[in-house]
Chain A
Amino acid sequence: GAGVSQSPSNKVTEKGKDVELRCDPISGHTALYWYRQSLGQGLEFLIYFQGNSAPDKSGLPSDRFSAERTGGSVSTLTIQRTQQEDSAVYLCASSLSTANNEQFFGPGTRLTVL
């Protein structure tokens, strides 16, 4: 597609369940980022993939969060044993490269943990 796509658009889950969020970046973009937006914390960085390099996981809030990027394209963010404080909008972005760093965002996945 022309832009960054994310699925699902909305996800409601029960506390303790695992969830997977998907991101499909702009074709040809080598860098992919995950952020989350919550009322109390604003927009915060989670994890960053650049090409085949090891991801930068410095923004992940706990070891319940993980992400992978298969084949240098689609990425999946997994949250294990979800907690209510994980409720937020999870946003994915991509850029052409690290050098050309303009980032384009997807529509987000709204996660609600009951």
Chain B
Amino acid sequence: GIQVEQSPPDLILQEGANSTLRCNFSDSVNNLQWFHQNPWGQLINLFYIPSGTKQNGRLSATTVATERYSLLYISSSQTTDSGVYFCAVRAYGGSQGNLIFGKGTKLSVKP
């Protein structure tokens, strides 16, 4: 089945810094989502981005489907950005509708 790898596994930032999180996947996809899991465990939708570029405030994401990777950019980080960021994909042509998740990037933003 499709493999999803995220990097880095852990990231510590000073408040105000910028960062880039990466998600590599091993096959063509027709769904790619970025989530932020907050300290209470809730998965918050950040982007639905099987291809192209989107921006939402200080966050933006780019998926290059032909090269099988996606990037999540966080600018001017804040302590509330702390948590785990997950990339999840659905394989193109797959009979299943479920998402396959990467192991996540744990982000800690220090004041």
Contact = CB atoms under 8 A, between A and B. Distances in A.
B98 A102 contact: no
B33 A103 contact: yes
Given A33-B97, A45-B99, A56-B98, A102 B31 contact: yes
A65 B100 CA distance: 20
A37 B101 CA distance: 11
Contacts of A93: 99
Give the interface size bracket for B toward A. Answer: 20 to 34
Interface stretch (A66-74, A76-84, A104-112): A104-112
Give the interface size bracket for A toward B. Answer: 20 to 34
A93 B90 CA distance: 14
22 contacts: A33-B97, A33-B99, A35-B98, A42-B103, A45-B96, A45-B100, A48-B96, A56-B95, A56-B97, A91-B43, A93-B99, A95-B97, A101-B30, A102-B48, A103-B88, A103-B99, A104-B45, A105-B35, A105-B42, A107-B40, A107-B42, A110-B41
Closest 10 CB pairs of A and B: A45-B98, A43-B101, A105-B43, A102-B48, A101-B31, A98-B97, A48-B97, A48-B98, A107-B42, A42-B103
